[in-house]
Amino acid sequence: MHFLSAITGSFAMPADENPTVAMMTAAYAHHGIDAVYLNCEVAPESLGAAVNGARAMGWVGFNCSIPHKIAVIAHLDRLAPSAEIIGAVNCVVRDGRELVGHNVDGQGFLTSVRTVIDPAGARVAVLGSGGAARAIAVELALAGAAEIQVVGVRPEPGTALAQLVTDRTPAIGRYVRWQGRWAVPAGVDLLVNATPVGLFPDVTALPAIDLDSLRPPTIVADVIPNPPTSALVAAARARGLTVLDGLGMLVNQGALAITLWTGVDPDRSVMRDRLTEIFTPIEP
């Protein structure tokens, strides 16, 4: 008998609307894993102190969400190969005395995408150029996507991500300046919203795109998990497009994190069912 549970958690700001804690706790309980998951609101200026605190208290690992996925790298000992290419971290794993940065965002998204499309040869447009966008763009490119259009308001990070895709993967990366309402070009196989637009509590917000340009066979995917049926997903579904909600990516990346921390491959249906219980979808 012992009384020292493994500690895991998440550092984000804001943190209150992050549902990760619910699905992780459900997975721990289902598999009898003696661990806790703490949802922590950490301001950017306190990130270093939070990482040092997790290190001092022997946490086995933690997630990083908005706005820490890039900034956390400065506080870690080393990066796993995929995180090094992406330049962003969403999962930190204790390895002996070291804290190692991984990125399972893109891997989780890729698992979800493969339920509706083979990314090999696909033309992809990614809205945004932050941590989630970087992970998704790189993983899709490594999976064989032909072209990644990075659609962003800020030229510097958008251009850098497009160049990263071109330089480090077989795909072609291209930056597209996001001005006004962006029209999705014909021939885009997959449109991904990798921005926080539409995240709770601003659940009616839509990315600045021309909704009339959303036409089949383009597939629309959103990384927003709360609400799972974001305003963009609802609008695309109403226009007859195939859609992917943010729960697929969230569940899959969470399952990968649990495996890295505990060695257990959790039942993803248990995790998704718990999230489904706590959300009321927005219907078109």
Left (φ > 0), alpha (ψ -120 to 50) or beta: where does 240 sit? Answer: left
Instruction: Compute the distance between CA of residue 78 and CA of residue 99 in angstroms, rounded to an integer.
Output: 7
CA 211 to centroid of chain Cα atoms: 23
Helix (H, G, I), strand (E, B) or coil at 19: coil
Instruction: Compute the distance between CA of residue 180 and CA of residue 200 in angstroms, rounded to an integer.
Output: 23
Instruction: Compute the distance between CA of residue 178 and CA of residue 157 in angstroms, rounded to an integer.
Output: 12
Residue carrying structure tokens 């270093």: 48
Rg (CA), the chain: 18
Residue carrying structure tokens 């895991």: 8
Angle at 127 between CA 268 and CA 160, to 5 degrees: 110
User: 152 is written with which tokens?
Assistant: 């962003």
Position 128, amino acid: G
Is residue 69 part of the annotated active site? The answer reads yes
H/E run at residue 54:
helix 47-56
Q: Which of 69, 75, 134, 274 is catalytic?
A: 69
* Distance from the first to the final alpha carbon of the chain: 52
In order of 73, 236, 262, 277, the CA distances from 5 in angstroms are 26, 44, 12, 26
Query: CB of 147 within 8 A of CB of 174?
Result: yes
Closest CA to 254 of 2, 6, 25, 5: 25
Residues annotated as catalytic (active site), given as ranges: 69
